Amino acid sequence: MRVVIALGGNAILQRGEPLECEVQRKNIREAAEAIARIARDHQVILTHGNGPQVGLLALMNEAYGKVTPYPLDALGAQTQGMIGFMFEQELRNCMPGREVCTVSTQTLVDPEDPAFAAPDKFVGPVYSLEDSVEVQNQNPHWVMKADGQYMRRVVPSPMPKEILELSSLQHLIANEQITLICGGGGGVPVKRAPDGKLVGVEAVIDKDRASRVLAEGIEADALLILSDVEAVATNFGQPDSQNIQYITPEAMDKFNFAAGSMGPKVEACVQFVRNGGQMAAIGSLAKAAEILTGDSGTVIRNDVKEGVRYYE
């Protein structure tokens, strides 16, 4: 099978962990081991988030102060190289002799996308309410919102329209022995100026939505979205909440999920299956191989007879 695996940035730097290189390296090493278990039997195209990393780079930029800070598109490109390099190295260590390739990609967006007026994508570290007030005072142009019991910066997340390097990616994955890393952070956000030239955009692309566009473009069989959750839960946090094991796209439409977290993941999986994908799934990185076989996570398919089945 050709499998697109979308790995959340918070799985690389987990909530509450210090934003340090060695912490990230350790998490990437563990993630690579889980991904390698799938890559030994299937062709894997790996994408990843970059929320904590791009937020950290933004803080470093703001702290420097003497020059104009680098915009988010440039910071996104930096995280593609940094995270991609680490994943490529660790995957090569897990699979000696296998070809692993990292490609920097750009994602085209609509400059009139309403997301620019309503930022909702979390980036950077989490703060206590008290610390967030100080951070907001230091960066008055930032927008802060609640992320669980913490506060965190949010930025615009426009819808991905096109992956500009798609034809090159198709050429690479024609060799089924290559494990490909691309679409980091959803790709570097760009728009076309009136003269047709490409221009960077101050935003962050949701990596799950971009991964869906990628998966369809390369005709993947499966889309796996992996993070630190075991499965998709109905009425999350409520007494009647249930973890979904199998579900059809139509049955999933009946539930509502948070726009800044689970919502884009569910949306991407549902659209992928509706547009011809065999299966999509959301679950824990630690159980990646079990998710692919339907023994863990939440699996979205068109052929679930009951419409929805819950874990007991």
Q: What does the alpha-carbon distance between residue 180 and residue 35 come to, in Å, rounded to a whole number?
A: 12
> Using CA atoms, how far apart are residues 97 and 196, in angstroms rounded to an integer?
42
Minimal CA–CA distance to 169: which of 177, 160, 159, 180? Answer: 180
Helix (H, G, I), strand (E, B) or coil at 106: strand
207 is annotated as an active-site residue:
yes
Sign of CA dihedral 78, 84, 85, 90: positive
Closest to 286 measured CA to CA, from 70, 16, 27: 27
- From the candidates 8, 49, 76, 121, which is the catalytic residue? 121
- The span from the CA of 244 to the CA of 258, in Å, is 16
Beta 106-108 vs 188-192: how paired, if at all? parallel
Angle, alpha carbons 127-226-50 (nearest 5°): 45
Active-site residue (options: 265, 277, 283, 297)? 265
Is 200 in contact with 187 (CB distance < 8 Å)?
no
Residue among 8, 76, 191, 207 flagged as catalytic: 207
**Is position 254 annotated as part of the catalytic site?**
no
- Alpha helices (runs of H) in 40-112, residue ranges in sequence order: 51-64, 72-94
Residue among 9, 184, 185, 297 flagged as catalytic: 9
Identify whether 305 is a catalytic site residue. Answer: no
Q: Does the annotation mark 191 as catalytic?
A: no
Q: Are the C-beta atoms of 284 and 33 separated by less than 8 Å?
A: no
Phi then psi dihedrals of residue 308, to 5 deg: -150, 140
Cα–Cα distance for residue pair 215/162, rounded to 1 Å: 12
Q: Quick one: CA dihedral 17, 229, 4, 164, positive or negative?
A: negative
Can 277 be counted among the known catalytic residues? Answer: no
H-helix or E-strand containing 11? helix 9-12
Catalytic residue among 8, 10, 50, 51: 10
The three-state secondary structure class of 298 is: strand
In angstroms, the CA 165 to CA 217 distance is: 11
Catalytic residues: 9-10, 121, 207, 265
